[in-house]
Structure 1
Amino acid sequence: MSVIFECEYNGRRYAGLGVPVPGERHTLYEVAEGRLREAVIAGGGPAAVAAAVTEGAGTVSVTLGDPGLRFLPPLLPTGSNNALVNGFMGTHRSKFDRAPEPDEEFTPPNYYLKGFGSWLRMPGEPLVTPADPVWLLEEPEIGLVYVNDEDGTPHYAGYTFGNDLNDIGLHLKNKWAWTPYAKLCETSVTPWLFLEEPPQTVTGRMTIEREGATAWGGDFSCGLDSLYHRVEDMTQYLFSYPLLRRPGLVNYLLLGADKASYHDGFRIEDGDRLVIDVTSHGVELANVVQYGQAVAARS
């Protein structure tokens, strides 16, 4: 698997190839803001993107845990915040009572806009929720990353993995009106961008830890073989909307999740640690849930 990532190290922007191994040193390549996005738009595949990172770049060697190292969401425009986090709901086969027919007309699944790309959290960072959520739900998902060129044409860059934490209890109280409020919890993604087509099979294990012990656990799948809808249909329909084709925009598109802890009757609490072990791809995403505070606006 071809993997690339971006980070900041001691205040400077770098990129790396592959997933760093804990305890081992990893080479970082100094890279200008937007260089990887330009390489994706230019085409040439994973080799061309890797060459854009490594050719003529200054390097440093670091290990995970270095206090000067901070990972970034894949291809995030940190200067302009020209990025959106959005996604689909009800996409998995487990949520339908039948399989799709081969010639079935496409009906778009429900869609939501989560927020700006700068709202994404990295592994190890807390996920802040509303002050008093009804019933939280973790959602291990594939996140597709698209970069629009100067003409507004979306270019697929690759995929990552995310946790679309949300308040399913609030959503179920009023599915047609309160879902946007239910989605106002922070979302985390891994910094690793897999420079390949969306994966057919993704399997892993979700664990919720409370006070250092496992409080709940369950397996998950979120590959294309778990979806009811075809990704090509979903993305083609979504990018028919001009506002999502603004020049330079980066779109993080979450493909939805299967059933999880809520469907087992488990309630996530403040301080719980959510661990997504994507075993099929050898990566992990862990974050602690942090209830926010209710603050009234000042007049």
Structure 2
Amino acid sequence: MLLSQCRREDGGVQIIARHGTEAYEVRTRDTLYRLAQRCIEEGATLKERILALGLGSAVDLEAIYAAGRLLPPVTHPDPAHLHLTGTGLTHVGSASTRAEMHRTAAGGETDSMRMFRLGLEGGKPANGHAGVQPEWFYKGNGTALAAPGAPLTAPDFAEDGGEEPEIAGVYLIAPDTTPVRLGFALANEFSDHVMERRNYLYLAHSKLRPASIGPELLVGELPRHVEGVSRIRRGAAVIFEKPFLSGEANMSHSLANLEHHHFKYPLFRQPGDLHVHMFGTATISFSEGVTARDGDVFEIEAAPFGLPLRNALVFTPRGTAEPRTEIRAL
């Protein structure tokens, strides 16, 4: 089952469920966040609850997308309680790219490649044990979550704006502090790769950019092997297109290990919070020498996730000089 959300004509939020090529309104006025809360309260799955509510009118999801009415598949009523985070160096492609970006002058093994090798050796432990911890990063809260079709805006101090096609897990923290996975979605973990390449200690700065997920949420298990395509459109032309592989069969860590090392912190187990946790990328255009420009459209698609995720790149115009952030004292 694939779930999405759109803005209704009256300003409310409508959940949409899709089976195959047909999409229907779910007979509820709840948001997906509230519906998931009810499922936890009642001990039901999302699929069970939606089938019990029933499906209403058929909808044209592509038309809703084109009209700019699609929302992220799940949002929090207080954006400060939605956390955008991720893990890196979990796919073979990202390891080689990052190793080149961070290579040492002497040509020795980079910290990035060592981190990737640790994942290969201990990222998929057996018997339910925790494995080696991955690289981890923070992107922001719900204010940094862009809807499908909305722009990904680079700040005026950005040196680059580049796509990172990923799969994200979406989680709601239950009242007893247990993380509950709602499903999986395509994600564009938008980053500043030029800044990161200057010095790998700038990685944290380079990740503080918006991200987008959706348009649809895959409810259920993630296939072990996922094949997708990442492309960049410039007007009518496709200036970059490359396949990517994801799913556990193509990763150095198990999903359970990545989830454990995020949610082991009590900070990330606060009841009612939402988490969008991105599992890493295998393909980025930056590593192919492509520089995205203002107005370019990033497009990420993979068959299990329904409609492609599309977002245009927008650069905030630069001033003559970057102003210092002024602080007011009380």
Category of TM-score, reference length = shorter chain? 0.7 to 0.9
The answer for unaligned runs of 5 or more in structure 2 is 96-112
Please report how far the alpha carbon of residue 139 of structure 1 lies from its aligned counterpart in structure 2 after TM superposition.
0.9
- The one-letter code of the counterpart of 2:189 is D
TM-score (norm 1): 0.86
The whole-number CA distance in structure 1 between the counterparts of 2:23 and 2:175 is 37
Q: Residue 63 in 1 paired to residue 60 in 2?
A: yes
After superposition, the Cα gap between the structure-2 partners of 1:199 and 1:117, relative to the gap in structure 1 and judged at 3 Å, is farther
Q: Residue 190 in 1 paired to residue 214 in 2?
A: yes
Give the structure 2 partner of residue 138 of structure 1: 163
**1:283 alignment partner, SS class:** coil
Q: Residue 113 in 1 paired to residue 126 in 2?
A: no
Give the structure 2 partner of residue 239 of structure 1: 263
Give the structure 2 partner of residue 92 of structure 1: 91
TM-score (norm 2): 0.79
The whole-number CA distance in structure 2 between the counterparts of 1:173 and 1:19 is 46
For residues 1-299 of structure 1, what are the structure 2 equivalents within 5 Å? 2-10=1-9, 11-18=11-18, 26-33=24-31, 34-41=33-40, 42-51=42-51, 54-55=53-54, 59=56, 62-64=59-61, 65-66=63-64, 70-79=69-78, 81-94=80-93, 95=95, 99-100=120-121, 106-176=131-201, 178-294=202-318, 296=323, 297=325
CA contact (8 A) 2:79 2:142 kept: no
Q: Residue by residue, what CA displacement relative to the aligned partner does 1:167-205 show, whole Å, maximum 9, x if unpaired?
A: 1111121212x1121112221111311111233111121
Please report how far the alpha carbon of residue 123 of structure 1 lies from its aligned counterpart in structure 2 after TM superposition.
1.9
Considering fraction of residues, name the structure with more helix: 2
Q: Which moved more, 1:277-286 or 1:96-105?
A: 96-105
The whole-number CA distance in structure 1 between the counterparts of 2:194 and 2:72 is 28
The whole-number CA distance in structure 1 between the counterparts of 2:266 and 2:176 is 11
Please report how far the alpha carbon of residue 81 of structure 1 lies from its aligned counterpart in structure 2 after TM superposition.
4.3
Q: Residue by residue, what CA displacement relative to the aligned partner does 1:15-55 show, whole Å, maximum 9, x if unpaired?
A: 1211796xx87434332244322244244334323236x25
The whole-number CA distance in structure 2 between the counterparts of 1:193 and 1:281 is 7
Please report how far the alpha carbon of residue 68 of structure 1 lies from its aligned counterpart in structure 2 after TM superposition.
7.9
Runs of 4+ residues over 6 Å off in structure 1:
none
Q: Residue by residue, what CA displacement relative to the aligned partner does 1:256-296 show, whole Å, maximum 9, x if unpaired?
A: 10132111111111111111121354430111100024574
**2:281 alignment partner, SS class:** coil
Q: Residue by residue, what CA displacement relative to the aligned partner does 1:91-120 show, whole Å, maximum 9, x if unpaired?
A: 113425864367698321111111112421
**1:100 alignment partner, SS class:** helix
Please report how far the alpha carbon of residue 144 of structure 1 lies from its aligned counterpart in structure 2 after TM superposition.
0.2
Question: Percent identity, aligned pairs only?
Answer: 25
The answer for unaligned runs of 5 or more in structure 1 is none
The whole-number CA distance in structure 1 between the counterparts of 2:23 and 2:85 is 35
**2:121 alignment partner, SS class:** coil
How many pairs does the alignment contain? Answer: 292
The whole-number CA distance in structure 2 between the counterparts of 1:132 and 1:259 is 25
CA contact (8 A) 1:39 1:48 kept: no
The whole-number CA distance in structure 1 between the counterparts of 2:7 and 2:57 is 12
The whole-number CA distance in structure 1 between the counterparts of 2:5 and 2:49 is 12
CA contact (8 A) 2:229 2:301 kept: yes
CA contact (8 A) 1:78 1:118 kept: no
Q: Which moved more, 1:217-226 or 1:277-286?
A: 277-286
Please report how far the alpha carbon of residue 138 of structure 1 lies from its aligned counterpart in structure 2 after TM superposition.
1.2
